[in-house]
């Protein structure tokens, strides 16, 4: 569904329904020019409030942590209320379905995001 006509396609969706749009960017770093392949994020930022874009990525591809079986799901909520609901829902459903992931990839990701120099290299 995501493509050049994303805006047109999303206008056809009933605006009263709440929709989660998941974009898996596990291989985005291998898709071409880094700035060019990320241009679509701007389109996601302009979606109606009832459509929640979520970015899914894998630590094994993004940070070359192969075999660690860890990743992240990031919401691009337009309001704090939507972001808070996303956190509540995922705290319950993710932990119930998958428990906690391995401690090593969680620690590595935390250290990358806490270190300003490392974060700039993402």
| pLDDT tens sequence across 35-53 | 888 888 888 888 888 889 9
Return d(Cα 75, Cα 56) in angstroms, integer.
9
Single pTM value for the model:
0.69
71-75 vs 51-58, strand pairing mode? antiparallel
Distance CA 29, CA 35 (A): 10
Contact 120, 109 (CB under 8 A): no
- Collect the ranges in the chain with pLDDT lower than 50: 1-2, 122
Q: Which residue has the tokens 């047109």?
A: 8
- Mapped onto helix, strand or coil, the DSSP state of residue 48 is coil
Q: What is the pLDDT of residue 54?
A: 93
């Amino acid at each position: 569904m995501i493509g050049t006509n994303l805006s047109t396609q999303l206008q056809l969706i009933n605006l009263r329904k709440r929709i989660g749009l998941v974009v898996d960017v596990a291989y985005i770093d291998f898709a071409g020019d880094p700035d060019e392949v990320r241009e679509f994020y701007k389109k996601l930022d302009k979606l109606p409030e009832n459509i929640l874009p979520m970015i899914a990525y894998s630590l094994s591809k993004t940070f070359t942590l192969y075999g660690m079986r860890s990743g992240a799901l990031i919401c691009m909520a337009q309001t704090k209320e939507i972001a808070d609901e996303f956190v509540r829902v995922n705290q319950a459903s993710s932990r119930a379905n998958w428990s906690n992931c391995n401690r090593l990839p969680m620690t590595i990701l935390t250290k990358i995001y806490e270190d300003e120099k490392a974060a700039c290299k993402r």
